[in-house]
Structure formats: structure tokens, C-alpha cells
Structure 1
């Protein structure tokens, strides 16, 4: 049997397992929250392994090993350290992020500012996710080309078809649990290769090191110095990359999907530890490969990159049987898929929820939304596949995406979370200035840079390295803060989800009394679907009307009759804002059909009893609003 055939057989078995996971979760996708946020039930292990797997691309690993070979520990600031630091920093903000009632960052920013910012942010996040996915597909293409001589098209098709199938079946739940499997494959692969490569480096030629201790002691002291590139360069890298990664949507979705704040925080800490272990393995592999192929580090950077990036693949091909080569290819395929599926899910949520539902069909039913979301996943993967044939550098694709994110929406997002004075005008100014300046700098830098030469802007001044992202971020900050201070402060409705004192002022309506022994209330209680998930209870009620509901007309009738009902992100999600905690507030959305209305509330577990009364009050108000339209509302029998 040819080695390529063996690989395809093992790959088919592996993919069947992944698709099986997606199929298992497909029947659990009853709401868009189930699809996009895994029903908010992911624990520490799921968050940790998925967070780690989502940031370890196949191409990224090959590039990290190459940079270790050519530049030593000083190279960690371009990829390794930002990965670890970003997860640690997000862990600090978990409580703030977790309590925000949003599924996407674009939806979050509309709540904070206005509807005008939602589409631009959604489009930018989608582009960023596509560029990240491009790096994964290109990395896997390099693997298959080196091992089997496959055309890059085959790598793109394998990743595209596999990811599209299991993600569209199982949503984020499938992403998380396939990520767990994929990270295990990848980590075992890295550890085994590290051990074997050290063995090969110490047991080969006559002048080879006698043991591992001698191998590592032979490495120059400068190689071990993480500050060898100088403190200014370290700071430039951190300011260029970390802001983009801590505001990246996919880890925020893992936080929103976690069962509670503790699970999210511990999961991110676990993820950073798991990433550190894999990158430590990459450093060991780099030291061993430098001893085996001394001509590569001798070539220096950047001339040696052409040999350094595929060095691991060449080593595997030269030293292992076809079966082990095939297993290695699957391990790197796992890295490619574990990132692509996350980026596809995050990007698709922007396309389907922030663009389609928000602006094209606000009254879309859940059934329609799930269908659109699945099509959006296919769109993201297809776009990344096409992009992989036009972008040549793996890390360049990752960095370009990061720089656009850092310069465009870092300040509007993080500033909006913690600075009350931020305004919609300031957010739009920061977004537009940052995006336009950064994209222009990237295009100009690429155009002006000769092949194999240092980036043009970097030669002008070191602060302009990384396509001038520091300048892009600086101008975005000036526009954001300056315009915010010159314009009218945000309204209380926009501030309420982010600042409890504002929500308390807004939620001043007197509570409606509910009698415990009211027969209608007792009957209503039996229809509440309740689950305890971590620190919060999940309460759901499915309601059905006697006729199709004109959603726009209904929402207007509800808002005009009862001041507590608000629509901070459009008519697709309506809240009864009578509490400072927005997640606890009763929300209503259109159900599977145009006759269904779904109620939901996620109060702290200790307040579940009182919140059931709040659900009953909300039910009566919705029923009254519908009755004014000649429509009768009933609770769906389970």
C-alpha cells in the first residue's frame, strides 16, 4: 500500500470520529444559543483544551520551530508569548465578559453604542477570522506537499469539507469537544517528536552530543535569552499583537459558553498552561533539529526560513515509517482543523446574527437562523480556502489579521467596557480611523517591500515595524478618546448592560406582586424548563400564539404598553429591563416557527425562585400585548 493511501485511510477513520461528535450534538441544537454558545454548559476542561487547540495552528507550530532555530528564545515575542499572555489577560476580565448578555462582540458593541457600529464590526471580525483560517489551511498544505507531494488544493478541500460537516452539525459544542480530541493528538505528536528528535541528535554522527544534557549545554547562552531582541522591540511586539488577541472574538465566545465564571477563568488558565507545554516541546525540537541540520541556523534569518519551516517535516519523512508519517500528518491536520473550526464558528456568528438577522431579516425564526448559520460556516471556510491560494506566508496571514483587529476595534471594545464617557461617535471614529490607516499601511508596506527583504516600514523606523500597527493603534486611540469627549454621553439604555449603577437607575419600575397560590402561576411553573448550570439557573418557556405574529408590530405594542421592555440590539432580542444584571432579565426571541415565542432568563441560582415570578409577569405582559393585536398566547405543552 502506498504511503499516501495509508494516510487517506487513517484520515478517513479520524474524520469519521470527528463527524460522529458533530452528529451527537446535532439534536441538541434547539436554539441559537445552543449552536453558538453550546448552551452555556462548557466546563473547565472543555474551555481549557479548546482555548489551547484554537490557538495552535499547524502552520504556526512549524513557524515557531523555525524561529526558535534561527533566532532562539528572542523570537517568542512574535507568536509564543502573545498566545500565552492573551489567555492570561482574558482570564482577568472573565467576570465582566461573562455577565454581558451577548453572543457576538458586534452585538455587544451595539448594546454599548448604537446599531450603526454593528455591521462594520461584524464585517471586520469576519475578515479577521477568515485570515486566521487561511494560516491553518496553508500550514496543512505545507504538510501534505512535503510528505506526499499533494497539490495545496487537496489540503484546502480536506480541511474545508471536514470542518464544515462537523461544525454545521454540532455547532460550538462540536467545536469544543473535537478540539479536545485534536489537542490530545497534537500534544502527543509534539512530545513524541521532541523525544525522538533529541535521540536522533545525540545518537547520529561521530561528533554528535553524547546525551541530552550535552545537547542543551552546547546551545549558546544568547539563544536562551528571551530579551535578546532588546526591550524596545519586545514592547513593540506586545503592543502590536496582544491587544488584537485579547479582543479576538473566539476566546470571548468560549467565556460566554462556559458554565460559570470560575470554569471560564480556570479554563483559560489551563489553556495557557497547555499552550506553554506545547511551545516548550517546540523549543526542544528546534534545538535538536539545529544539531541535526546545522546549515539551517547558519543561514540566519530571514534567508534560513525557507529551510527552517519545513525542517520538522523533512525530519519526520527521513526517520519514520510510512505509518508514523501518516500519524504525524494527522496530528498536524488536527492542529489545522482545531483552529479552522473555531474561526469558522466565530465568523459565521457575525455573518448570520450580526448581518443577516440584525439587518436583513430581524424576524427570522430559530429554524431559519440555524440554517443561515450553517451556510455561514460554509462561506467562512470557502473564503479561507480561496484566500489560502493568494497569501504566501503563514505567520503573515495571522499577523495581518491581528494588526487589523488591534488597530480597529481594541479601543472601542475595551474602552466601552470600562469607560462610561465612551460614545457611539467616538467608537465609530476609532474604528474607521484605525481600520483605514492600518489597512492602508499594510498594503503600502507589502507593495514597497522587495522579495526576501526586511519590511519597508521597518527600515524607515523600528516603531513602524509590524506594518506600522503602533501608528494605526495610536491614531485610533486619539480618534476614540478625542471624539468621545467632544460628543454627547451615551444613554442609560446603552450603559445599563455594562455598568450596574446605570442599570439600577434605569430599572426603577416597581416590581409586580405575584401570589404564590395563584392557580395560573402554579400552572405556569409546571411549564418552565429549568436547569442549574454552574452559578446560574437557565430558565426557558416556550410559548405559542393562535396565529402568526408580526414581530415588528408586536414588539412596538409591547414597548408602548410597558416601559420596562427594551431592544438594545434590535427587535430580534427584547429584554424586560427591571434588574441591574442583564443576564437575569427576561428576554424574548422568536421561536422555531413564526407562531412561537421563547422566553429565557439566566439568574443566579440563589434567585431562581424570584425569577420564576418575573417570568410569569413577563408572560402576562406579552400575552396582553398580543391580545391587543387579536392573538392569543398559550404555553406550549412539553
Structure 2
């Protein structure tokens, strides 16, 4: 009981720190972009720590150590290598992703294709994020059960309450900065345990003789060190089964959009891959070797023993901690593993919550919601994801299995519509929808079939039929999705210019350009410059102008009037986001959104720093066009009077 009390005390101090971070950032949340993308101000170090932290769960660490014990380095292809390679591949895609005007992937797909895809993709991503969060809660459940004999409800309560508090307060800013704290705790825990376990192994026990560190490392077979012992075909199957889903996972894209510039995002992803290698590739390897020597009774062949091997190997580190560490060290280890669980679960809660909030509620239920209403919905959406993950954590027991199932559904459903839309001009909304539906239905069906064997086997029901059907048949699921996507796209009408321009420079050149004629001496222009909020964030500037109309604005009527008199104003993702499409770089285009009240209209744009002067003149022209549209429906919009010195 003393161990449990020390853990509770340390956990309380830790949670107070996280909540303090959430409270600090809660004062900075003024818009949807601030809440979901941290105002696009995150630097490379924060991106790197957060990216690494979000892909390291308590369950993941235990599972990786267990896989090393049972399968050796050949197990890296099922989890470790895809983590590292996915972040490196995402770093290569930063240039394409960073400057797209989206907060979520479903919103991006609507911009590229149509609203037909946004709802289904938002639902799939929300489900995937819930499954990922389930793995975090299950991992912490195992920790608390072995450490303190606590039932799973305690782990669910700790994760749910903590995340609900600091994420709903501080949004994505709180996620990123708490991730940094959590990764420090996690890495210190992993490296410290590597040192302690290796020291214990070399010191020996009454039953096991003491050996040197070099002898310990040489105690494992040559085959154990060979990552390709399973064969190149099996390696390639793992790569193509897992990496596409992780490359297109929403949370790393969310970090790219939240970064201050392209360089910060790219360097952060590269840094994140190195940090993952440090924990999974170095610390976990040493822990696994030490535990294998200390517990020779753990089965050494997963193929022969099946699930029983992992059942013994996965919690081996936890049993070692209970048997060898002091109550204080045990409490610290518990907090470190809790940090690992929360550092991933908070990311999945924000990614899934953004889909519920922006892609479902604001897009389909209340497009004219005010910013104040959306901030409340944002927080409720995070709670829904957390509560759903908590509920399903009592029914899904496999940690790596939950991660893999979620990944395979993502890979088979929206990999081709998303990546194909970014790089293939001929992709169409019909092709994207076909790829999405065929891939999702096929993958869900394959997963159900794979579990239809009696008795349930670790290798699944499909793998014995063909190696290409291993991993719940995800390779076939992706193949069917790709065939549907490319086949239907070629057979249907190409996408419109409005959908193509933000993604392809040559299409953007075809946009009708409007002359921006503004005199620097114009009194009204000078007045606008005095009211314009300018902030440099990396290679871009953030320009904002919040104005209040003379009366309540009927948003639908106003937007329809604006589009009718100035057709270059478009609503590619619904009336909640209105763009003056003057260029293919939609981030640099002036956009409109509803403010905190039904009278407020918020103007914003994110031009490149070298184009701020030109963008300011576009702002002024956009203001005049908006004022004209409002005047046509009997509402006045004026620039505020300059403040007296």
C-alpha cells in the first residue's frame, strides 16, 4: 500500500503540472486555428519531441520489449521501423503538406474533391484515433495491475480525467508542450531502466552467474540480431501494410500545419525519428537483452508458443521493477509509464476531436456557428473521443493488435484518395469515394474473417492461405482501394479548377486574376493598416482583422450575396470558411469566418513574409467587397476609428 500512496502523490504533482500548462494556454485560445493548430507557431524542437512522444505509448514500450525478447531484431518491422521510417517519409512531404489551407485531413479532401468525402473520412479518422487511444489505456492498465493490483478502471480514469482537463483547456498548444515534458520523463525512464536491467543482469543472481556487459550482449544468437531473418518478402509486406497508414495519419500532419514554417516541420520530423530510435532502438533493446538473461524461462519462439510467449514477455519489465526497485523508484516508474500513455492519448484525442468538431459539427450540423460556440464544441469533441476510448478499452485487450487494426483500416481506406489527390491531377471525387469505400469495406471484412478461425490464432485465419493475406489482408485491401481509385478516376470527369488550383501550380496560373489598385495615400487604406494585426510566424506572416457589423449577419445570405457580385469568392469547404481565390496559395488568400458573435466577421490571411505589403492591399480590397455585399442586404461594415495615442 505504501507503493500505491507514493505513486498517487507523485501522480498528483505531475497532473497539476500538466493542468497548469493547459490553464496557461487556455488564455491564448481565440480561434479554431489557435485551438487545433496552436496558432501555427510551433518550432522544430517542440515538433520533434511531440512527434516522438505521440508515437510512444506505455503499451508500445512493453510490447516492443516483449517482441525483442521473443523474436529479436526481426520484430522491428511490425512496429519500431515503421515508426522511424514514417516520420522520415513525412519529412519529405512537408513541402507539399505545410502550405495547404486545412486544419484537418477531411477538410483537405473536401478542398481537393468535394464534400462527399469529408464526412466519411472524418468518421474513419475518429474511429482510428479512438483505437489508438485504446492501446494507450490498455498499456497503462497493465502497468497499474502489476504494480499495485489495480483493476483497469483506474488506468482509464487517470488517462481520461487528465487528458480531458489539460487538452480541453489548452488545445493543441497544451498537447505539444505537455508532450515535451512527457517525452523527457519517458526517455529518462527508458534509459534508466536499460542501465538498471543491464546492471542487474551482469551482477547475476543466486541462480544466474554474473557476466560482463560484452558477454551479455554476446549471449544472444546471431539470428537474434538479424532484422532480415524473416525474409525480405515478409519485411516488404510489413512495410507496405503499416507505413502507408502511418504516413497518412492525421496527427503528424496536424503538427506540420501547426509548425511556424516548413523548415521547422521538416527538422522536427527528422528529430522525432531519431528520438524514437533512441528509446525503441537503444533503450528497449538493452532492456530486452537483460531481461532475457534474467528470465530464461520466457519462451524464446513466438512461432512455437503463440500468444503465450508475448503474454509472458510483454510484462517482464514490470515484474522486474516490482521485484527490484524501491517504493519511490516504483512510483517514479509508474509516473513515467503514465506519461507515455498520456503523451499519445492526448494527440489522438485532439486529432479525433477536430474531425468531430470541424468536419462534422461545423460542416454539416451548424455551418454558421460562431467562434465562441465552436470553442465549446471543440472541448466537447475531445471529451467524446476520450470517453469512447475509455469505454472500448474494457473490450479490446491486445495493445499492438489495436494499433495494427486501426493502421490497416487507415491504409486501405484513405491512403490513395489522400496521397493520390496531392500528386495526381486526374484524381476525381468519384474515384476518391470509390477508393475510400472499397478499401474500408474490404479491410473491415478481412479483419472480421481473420478472426473467424477457431480457436483464435496469433497468426490469423488468412495468413496460412497466402503471405500476402497476412496482417489481416491489408495488402489486398489497399490493392482493391487503389484499383477502384485509379479506375474510377480515369473514367469520370476531371476535377474543377477551384479544386485543383491549391494543389497544382500550373492550374493556379489559370485563375482569373483581379487587379488590386490601392493607393498608399488612400485615407481608408491607412485606416485599415492601423487596425490590421500583423505577426511574423516563420516564413509566413499572420494578418488578422476582426470587425463588427451594424446588425446581426445572416451568414448564408451574406455569403451568397458576396459570391454573386464577386465570383472569385469561393466556399470549397462550406460557408464556415470563405476564400477570396486570387491565387493558388490559399493560405495567402484573404479568408472570412464568423467571429465570437453573430455580428463579428473575421478576416485573415497567411502570406509569405516577402508579400506582406501586397497582402495588405488585398486585405483592403477584400474589405471593400465584403462591405459592398453587406450593404446590399442592409448592413453596414466600417473600419474602427484609430485609437488615440
State the TM-score, normalized to the length of structure 2: 0.98
The 3 A distance-change label for structure 1 pair 449 and 334 is: farther
CA distance in 1, matches of 2:92, 2:565: 41
For the 8 Å contact 2:69–2:300, the answer to whether it is kept is no
1:284 is matched with 286
Match of 2:636 among 622, 628, 632: 632
CA distance in 2, matches of 1:609, 1:298: 67
2:46 is matched with 46
Match of 1:363 among 368, 374, 393: 368
What pairs with 1:370-385 in structure 2 (closer than 5 Å)? 370-385=375-390
How far 1:445 sits from its partner (Å)? Answer: 1.0
What pairs with 1:566-605 in structure 2 (closer than 5 Å)? 566-605=570-609
Match of 2:321 among 316, 336, 352: 316
Aligned residue for 2:464, secondary structure, equals helix
How far 1:462 sits from its partner (Å)? Answer: 1.1
CA distance in 1, matches of 2:190, 2:286: 10
CA distance in 1, matches of 2:616, 2:319: 62
For the 8 Å contact 1:501–1:580, the answer to whether it is kept is no
1:426 is matched with 431
2:103 is matched with 103
Aligned residue for 2:535, secondary structure, equals strand
How far 1:209 sits from its partner (Å)? Answer: 4.6
Match of 1:509 among 513, 518, 530: 513
CA distance in 2, matches of 1:395, 1:321: 30
1:296 is matched with 298
The 3 A distance-change label for structure 1 pair 494 and 459 is: same
CA distance in 1, matches of 2:91, 2:596: 35
1:190 is matched with 190
Aligned residue for 2:531, secondary structure, equals coil
Q: Does 1:28 align with 2:33?
A: no
* More moved, 163-172 vs 439-448: 439-448
1:163 is matched with 163
Match of 1:527 among 531, 534, 538: 531
Q: Does 1:612 align with 2:616?
A: yes
The 3 A distance-change label for structure 1 pair 239 and 555 is: same
1:254 is matched with 255
2:56 is matched with 56
1:459 is matched with 464
For the 8 Å contact 1:449–1:455, the answer to whether it is kept is no
Aligned residue for 2:509, secondary structure, equals helix
* More moved, 210-219 vs 178-187: 210-219
CA distance in 1, matches of 2:220, 2:301: 16
For the 8 Å contact 2:71–2:300, the answer to whether it is kept is no
CA distance in 2, matches of 1:245, 1:400: 12
The 3 A distance-change label for structure 1 pair 478 and 614 is: same
Per-residue CA deviations over 1:181-208 (Å, capped at 9, x if unaligned) read 0000000000000001000000023653
CA distance in 2, matches of 1:36, 1:539: 18
CA distance in 1, matches of 2:337, 2:468: 35
The 3 A distance-change label for structure 1 pair 636 and 22 is: farther
Match of 1:483 among 471, 485, 488: 488
How far 1:65 sits from its partner (Å)? Answer: 0.2
Per-residue CA deviations over 1:523-550 (Å, capped at 9, x if unaligned) read 1101011001100000000011011101
How far 1:444 sits from its partner (Å)? Answer: 1.4
CA distance in 1, matches of 2:509, 2:28: 36
The 3 A distance-change label for structure 1 pair 488 and 313 is: same
CA distance in 1, matches of 2:65, 2:317: 8
Aligned residue for 2:587, secondary structure, equals coil
Per-residue CA deviations over 1:306-360 (Å, capped at 9, x if unaligned) read 1101000000010001110110010000010000000000000000000000000
Aligned residue for 2:638, secondary structure, equals strand
For the 8 Å contact 1:209–1:215, the answer to whether it is kept is no
How far 1:379 sits from its partner (Å)? Answer: 0.2
For the 8 Å contact 1:542–1:635, the answer to whether it is kept is no
CA distance in 1, matches of 2:355, 2:482: 24
Give ranges in structure 2 of 5+ residues lacking alignment: none
For the 8 Å contact 1:541–1:635, the answer to whether it is kept is no
Aligned residue for 2:573, secondary structure, equals coil
CA distance in 2, matches of 1:119, 1:356: 10
What is the count of residue pairs matched by the alignment? 637
What pairs with 1:48-127 in structure 2 (closer than 5 Å)? 48-127=48-127
1:217 is matched with 218
Q: Does 1:563 align with 2:571?
A: no
The 3 A distance-change label for structure 1 pair 38 and 200 is: same
Aligned residue for 2:635, secondary structure, equals coil
For the 8 Å contact 1:66–1:308, the answer to whether it is kept is yes
For the 8 Å contact 2:544–2:604, the answer to whether it is kept is yes
Q: Does 1:472 align with 2:477?
A: yes
For the 8 Å contact 1:68–1:286, the answer to whether it is kept is yes
Give ranges in structure 1 of 5+ residues lacking alignment: none
For the 8 Å contact 2:134–2:390, the answer to whether it is kept is yes
How far 1:635 sits from its partner (Å)? Answer: 3.5
Q: Does 1:348 align with 2:332?
A: no
1:132 is matched with 132
For the 8 Å contact 2:416–2:482, the answer to whether it is kept is yes
CA distance in 2, matches of 1:449, 1:248: 33
Aligned residue for 1:397, secondary structure, equals helix
2:153 is matched with 153
Per-residue CA deviations over 1:38-70 (Å, capped at 9, x if unaligned) read 000000011000000000011011000000000
